[in-house]
Amino acid sequence: MQPRMLGKTSIQVSPIGLGTVKFGRNEAVKYPSHFEIPTDEEARSLLCFAKQLGVNVLDTAPAYGMSEERLGKLLPPKERKDWVIVTKIGEEFIQGESQYNFTPEHARFSIERSLKRLNTDFIDVMLVHSDGNDVYNIQHFGILECLSDLKQMGLIRATGMSTKTVEGGLLALDHSDIVMVTYNPLETGERSVIRRAHELQKGILIKKALASGHIDKIKAMDSGASLDPVSYSLNFILQEPGVSSVIIGTLKQKHLQAVVEIASTI
């Protein structure tokens, strides 16, 4: 895979990134079937395999259960420079439910905690984890300005927001480096955010590229095409100017390899 620049930052990212929600949480998730949390050996093996494939983006969050702590334990400190770690603030998963806090005070607390959990001195990309009220949270709490201040302190290399609305995505582009959006053949509503990011030379990360595992819906939609639904989806996404990296959440090496092989041809 040819690395891509993450907007105007100095960060180069692989077109495919590895999502790690499954490293730490299997409760109240939107995947179609149940899965077991991997053992340390299984998780470490997947990380090593991802690195061999050229994947350098790891996406995590405090809301992903034990994901941050496990990455901090599993990633050798000497290999820290080999990874672009994306994590988030704003959402906590407590006793089976998501809770949200977008105050600057909680942001600072959350970032300091993530640094300790991940066993690192800096976070490559820090995103606000949306609850759906994107515009309100940006304007009322000044959360993106808070992240910019922490970026100036050297704790963060790039800032942004994982949004749920077009209006929020467009506003976040004006106040940060990166936006993470939902985009796949079934969900194209945030295409305008991607195209605006391309105009502004801002970074775009893609979530739910394979419809959170509901690939059968994409297959049904694409019944007349020759490509399999995964190839169809990745071609659809990665050929969109402005897309920096697509986050794929999987625990299976063969699935990750197949996705990387597809991305390498686009």
The confidence score (pLDDT) of residue 33 equals 80
* Rounded Cα–Cα distance for residues 58 and 256 (Å): 13
The confidence score (pLDDT) of residue 182 equals 97
**Digit-coded pLDDT (tens) for 199-219:** 999 999 999 999 876 777 776
Q: In the predicted model, is pLDDT for residue 18 greater than 90?
A: yes
Percent of the chain exceeding pLDDT 90 equals 88
**Digit-coded pLDDT (tens) for 42-73:** 999 999 999 999 999 999 999 999 999 999 99
Q: In the predicted model, is pLDDT for residue 224 greater than 60?
A: no
**Digit-coded pLDDT (tens) for 134-174:** 999 999 999 999 999 999 999 999 999 999 999 999 999 99
Question: Residues 6 or more apart from 69 whose CB is under 8 A from it?
Answer: 24, 117
Percent of the chain exceeding pLDDT 70 equals 96
The confidence score (pLDDT) of residue 212 equals 75
The confidence score (pLDDT) of residue 16 equals 98
The confidence score (pLDDT) of residue 165 equals 98
Looking at residue 122, the DSSP 8-state letter turns out to be -
Superfamily (CATH H level) for 4-263: NADP-dependent oxidoreductase domain (3.20.20.100)
Structure tokens of 148? 């910019």
The confidence score (pLDDT) of residue 233 equals 93
* Rounded Cα–Cα distance for residues 114 and 60 (Å): 10
The confidence score (pLDDT) of residue 226 equals 61
The confidence score (pLDDT) of residue 177 equals 98
Catalytic residues: 64
- pLDDT band of residue 222 (cuts 50, 70, 90) is low
Q: What is the mean pLDDT of residues 116-132?
A: 97
Residue 243 contacts residue 194 (beta carbons within 8 Å)? yes
Q: In the predicted model, is pLDDT for residue 221 greater than 80?
A: no
The H-assigned helical ranges of 75-228 are 104-118, 134-141, 143-152, 166-175, 191-200, 215-221
Closest Cα to residue 44, out of 25, 64, 62, 18? Answer: 18
Mean of the per-residue pLDDT values of the chain:
94
Q: In the predicted model, is pLDDT for residue 34 greater than 90?
A: no
